Amino acid sequence: MATVKIAYAKAHLPELLARVARGERIVISRYNTPVAELVPPPEQPKRKFGTGKGKVKILDPHCFDPMTDEEVDAFIEGRY
């Protein structure tokens, strides 16, 4: 774990962020007192396609049917 002063961190932030992206932890200090720590983000689990199968139930079997002309007119006029 590296320790840097605030002035150095302000001047070299892109370099420090690149080091953090590689997995290094960096402590930023003011007057030799730690005030912040740059750490890599926690790893997110990879999503698997199809894991939501069977978890959603559509109650109306006709919800994806095309609208009739009367329904379209009512929707446009704000009556639907």
- Tell me the domain boundaries of the chain: 2-38
CATH code of domain 2-38: 3.40.1620
pLDDT tens by residue, 4-45: 999 999 999 999 999 999 999 999 999 999 999 999 999 888
Q: What is the DSSP letter of 46?
A: P
Q: What is the DSSP letter of 62?
A: T
Alpha-carbon distance 38 to 19, whole Å?
A: 10
pLDDT tens by residue, 38-78: 999 998 888 888 777 788 887 888 888 899 999 999 999 98
Q: How much is the pLDDT for 50?
A: 79
Q: How much is the pLDDT for 13?
A: 96
Model's pTM, two decimal places? 0.55
CA neighbor of 6 nearest in space, from 21, 20, 26, 25: 26
Q: How much is the pLDDT for 80?
A: 67
